[in-house]
Chain A
Amino acid sequence: MSTEAHAAEGATGYIIHHLTSLSVGEGFWTLNLDTLFFSAVLGVLFIWFFKTAADKATAGVPGLVQSFAEMLIEFVDNQVKDSFHGHSKVIAPLALTIFCWVFLWNFMDLFPVDILPLIGSLMGIEYLRVVPSTDLNATFAMSISVFCLIIFYSIKIKGGWGFAKELTLQPFGPWLLPFNLLLKLVEEFAKPISLALRLFGNLYAGELIFILIALLPWYIQPVLSFPWAIFHILIITLQAFIFMVLTVVYLSMAHEDH
C-alpha cells in the first residue's frame, strides 16, 4: 500500500485506513477478524515455544530454549512472590500468559506499518490492523477476564458475606453505607478499565505515531522511526510488565482478608 495510492484520499484517509479493522458482522455481533487472527497466532506461538521447552524440560543442563523459558518463568515467579503471599496454582501461570501474550501483541507494533497490510492487500484483504493491543476488544477482553477472577477470588476467599461487608462497611463504617458502596464499586470497576485503557492507549498512540511518521517524506522517516522504534521496545515490554504486575497485585488484594 504505497503512499501514492492514498494521495487521493489524503493523509486522513491513510490513517483511517490503517486503523480500520477487518471485520464481519453487524452491530455488536461484529467480529474483528484481524484481531482474533493475530492474537490467536501469537497465542499459538507462545504456547508452541513454551510447550517445546516444557517437553524437553530437564533438571540437568538446560538447552537454549529451556534456559530462555526458565528465565521468563523465574522472572514471573519472582514478581508473583514479591506481591502475592499465598498459594495459588492459577496466578503464576496467568501472569506468565499475560506477560508473554501482551508482549507479543505489542511486538507486532514493531513491524513496519505498511508491510503486513501490503501483503494483505496482495491477498485481497482490504483492511488489516496487525496490533491486537490497539483494539479495545482485545485489551478489555483480558482485563474483564482478570476482573472476573478478582471477583471470583474475593468471594471464594472472603465468602459472599465477607465480600459484601468489605464492599459496604469500609472505609467509613456502617453509617455511611451507600457512600462506601459507591466508593468501593468505583474502585473495583476502575481496575479493569484502567488496565485495558492503559495498554490500549499506549499502543494506539505508539502505532499512530508510526503511521504519522510513515506519512512524512521518505528521507525523514528513518531519522524519526528508528529512535521511536527503539523507544517503543521499552514501551511494549513495560506495558506487558505493568499489565502482569497489576494483575498479580489485584489478585493478591482479592486474596487478602481484612
Chain B
Amino acid sequence: MSINATLIGQMITFALLVWFTMKYIWPPLFDSLEERRKKIGEGLAAAEKGQEAMQLAEKKAKNVLKEAKEQSSEIVSLAQKRANEIVEESKDTAKKESDRLVHAAKAQIEQEIQQAKESLRQEVAVLALRAAEQILGAEIDHAKHQDIISKISNQLG
C-alpha cells in the first residue's frame, strides 16, 4: 500500500512509453491523417473544378447549338427567298416568252392578213379590169392603162 521503489520503475516505464509514442507512433499516424485530409480536400476541389468545367462545356455546347440553329434557319430562309426569286424569275421569263410568242404570232397574222389583202386587192383589180373590159366592150390597152389600173388597185387596198 505504501509508496516504494515501484514508483521509480513505473516512472521509467512511463517515460519509455511516452518517448516511444513520441518518436515512432504519433508522427506517422498523424502524418497519414493529415495527408489523407489534404488528399480529400484536393479531391473535392478537383471534383468541384470538374463540375465547373462541365457546366462551362454545357453552356458552350448550348451556345454552339443555338448558333447552329440560327445559322440553319438563316440558310433555310435564304434558300426560301432564293426559291421565291427563282420562281418569280421563271414566271417573268415565261411571261416574257409568252408575250414574245404572242407578239410574233400577231405579227405573222398581220403579215398574212397583209398578204391576203394584197393578193385580194390584185385579184379585185384584175376582176375590176375584166369587168370594165366587159362593160366597155373594148380591149383596154394594158400598156396604156397601166396607170389607171395601179391607181384603182391602190384605192382598193
Contact = CB atoms under 8 A, between A and B. Distances in A.
B136 interface: no
B5 interface: yes
A47 interface: yes
A89 B29 contact: no
* Secondary structure type dominating chain A contacts: helix
A166 B19 CA distance: 30
Interface of B: 1-11, 13-18, 20-22, 24-26, 28-33, 35-36, 38-39
A69 B35 contact: no
A170 interface: no
A31 B4 contact: yes
Nearest to B26: A93
B33 A136 contact: no
Interface stretch (A116-124, A138-146, A207-215): A138-146
B6 A54 contact: no
* Secondary structure type dominating chain B contacts: helix
B10 A35 contact: yes
A46 B24 CA distance: 13
A76 B39 CA distance: 22
A30 B17 CA distance: 23
Given A58-B32, A145-B11, A46 B17 contact: yes
Interface stretch (A36-44, A156-164, A175-183, A234-242): A36-44
B13 A43 contact: yes
A54 B18 contact: no
B39 A59 contact: yes
Interface stretch (A7-15, A94-102, A250-258): A94-102
Nearest to B16: A43
Nearest to B40: A59
Contact of B26 (A19, A92, A132, A144): A92
B19 to A, nearest CB: 9
Contact of B21 (A77, A97, A135): A97
A51 B11 CA distance: 21
Contacts of B9: 31, 36, 141
B24 A51 contact: yes
B21 A93 contact: yes
